[in-house]
C-alpha cells in the first residue's frame, strides 16, 4: 500500500494570468467603479490593487489635513510591491492645482519610495497625446470650476461646461447611454475633443460610442489612468492585444 505522504498531488493551473506589472491605486472611499472597470478593461498581466481614502466629496479638505491619510493608503499599497502608485481622483487632484498635485505625489513617494502619478497629470498627458486643445467637459459634479481652472492652467480651453449637479453616490447611476447622449447634445463645432471627467462613473463604457458618433477623440478619467499605467509599464506587460473599447487614446501608447 502506498504511503499517503508519497502521493504527488496533481498541479492545477490557475485560470488567472500572473501579474507581470502591478499598479496600486488610491481611490476615494465612495468610489465603486474603478475596481470592476480596471479589471474588465485592463490588459492581461496587469495586477490592479486598490486602497481607499476619504479624500473626495464631503471628505475633501485642505491638502495638509489629508496628507496623513494619503500617506497611510500609499503605505498599505506598498505592501504588495506595486511598480507604480496612482492617486486617482480627478476632482481632488485638479482642485489642488498643478503645484498641489505635485505635493500629493511627493507625499506618496516619501511614504513608499515608489513612483507616483495622479489622475490630473495623466488626463493632461492623454489630451496632449491626442493633440486636443478645445474641450467639451462633462461631469456629474456640482461644479466644474476646479476642473476648468486646472485645464486652463495646463494649456487647454473649455468651450462647453456641463456639470450635472449629482451627489457622489449618484455618480455611478448615470448610464453609458446617458453619457453618450449628453456628449451628442453638448458637442460644439469648435471643440476638438470631449473630456468625460470623474473616476466614479460609467463614462469609460461610453468612450467608443461617443467617438464613433461625433468623430472626435474622447478622454475619460479612468481611461486616461489605465492608458497612463499601461504606457509606463508596457515593457513589463509585453505585447498588448487591441483594446477598441478604450477608444483612440489606446492607440497612442508611444506618444
User: In terms of pLDDT, which residue wins out, 76 or 251?
Assistant: 76
Rounded to an integer, the average pLDDT of 161-181 is 97
Question: Strands, E, within the chain: which ranges?
Answer: 21-28, 46-53, 84-87, 116-118, 134-139, 157-163, 193-196, 218-220
- Give CA–CA dist 14/48, Å, rounded: 17
pLDDT for 16 equals 77
Band the pLDDT of 14: cuts 50, 70, 90.
confident
Phi and psi of 85, rounded to 5°? -120, 135
| Domains of the chain in sequence order | 21-119+223-251 (3.40.50.12500), 122-220 (3.40.50.12500)
C-alpha cell at 82: 506595486
Per-residue pLDDT for 12 more than 70? no
196 near 218, Cβ under 8 Å? yes
Phi and psi of 247, rounded to 5°? 75, -170
pLDDT for 185 equals 98
Per-residue pLDDT for 181 more than 90? yes
Decide: pTM greater than 0.85. Answer: yes
pLDDT for 142 equals 96
Band the pLDDT of 15: cuts 50, 70, 90.
confident
Q: DSSP labels for 194-212?
A: EEE--SSSSGGGGHHHHHH
What digits encode the pLDDT tens for the residues 182-197? 999 999 999 999 999 9
Band the pLDDT of 5: cuts 50, 70, 90.
low
Rounded to an integer, the average pLDDT of 12-22 is 82
pLDDT for 85 equals 98
What digits encode the pLDDT tens for the residues 121-161? 999 999 999 999 999 999 999 999 999 999 999 999 999 99
C-alpha cell at 88: 486617482
User: In terms of pLDDT, which residue wins out, 176 or 253?
Assistant: 176
17 near 241, Cβ under 8 Å? no
Task: Report the relative pairing of strands 218-220 and 193-196 from DSSP bridges.
Answer: parallel
230 near 198, Cβ under 8 Å? no
pLDDT for 17 equals 74
Per-residue pLDDT for 214 more than 70? yes
Amino acid at each position: 500500500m502506498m504511503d499517503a505522504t508519497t502521493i504527488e498531488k496533481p498541479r492545477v493551473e490557475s485560470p488567472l494570468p500572473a501579474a507581470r506589472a502591478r499598479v496600486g491605486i488610491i481611490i476615494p472611499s465612495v468610489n465603486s467603479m474603478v475596481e470592476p472597470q480596471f479589471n474588465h478593461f485592463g490588459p492581461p498581466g496587469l495586477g490592479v490593487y486598490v486602497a481607499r481614502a476619504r479624500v473626495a466629496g464631503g471628505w475633501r479638505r485642505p491638502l495638509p489635513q489629508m496628507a496623513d491619510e494619503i500617506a497611510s493608503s500609499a503605505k498599505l499599497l506598498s505592501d504588495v510591491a506595486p511598480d507604480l502608485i496612482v492617486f486617482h481622483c480627478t476632482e481632488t487632484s485638479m482642485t489642488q492645482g498643478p503645484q498641489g498635485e505635485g505635493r500629493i505625489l511627493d507625499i506618496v513617494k516619501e511614504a513608499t519610495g515608489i513612483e507616483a502619478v495622479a489622475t490630473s497629470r495623466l488626463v493632461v498627458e492623454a489630451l496632449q497625446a491626442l493633440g486636443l486643445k478645445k474641450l467639451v467637459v462633462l461631469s456629474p459634479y456640482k461644479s466644474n470650476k476646479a476642473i476648468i481652472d486646472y485645464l486652463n492652467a495646463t494649456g487647454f480651453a473649455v468651450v462647453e461646461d456641463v456639470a450635472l449637479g449629482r451627489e457622489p453616490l449618484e455618480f455611478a447611476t448615470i448610464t453609458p447611454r446617458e453619457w453618450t447622449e449628453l456628449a451628442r447634445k453638448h458637442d460644439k463645432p469648435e471643440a476638438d475633443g470631449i473630456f468625460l471627467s470623474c473616476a466614479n462613473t460609467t463614462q469609460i463604457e461610453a468612450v467608443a460610442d461617443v467617438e464613433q458618433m461625433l468623430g472626435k477623440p474622447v478622454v475619460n478619467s479612468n481611461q486616461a489612468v489605465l492608458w497612463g499605467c499601461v504606457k509606463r509599464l508596457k515593457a513589463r506587460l509585453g505585447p498588448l492585444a487591441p483594446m477598441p473599447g478604450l477608444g483612440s487614446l489606446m492607440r497612442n501608447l508611444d506618444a
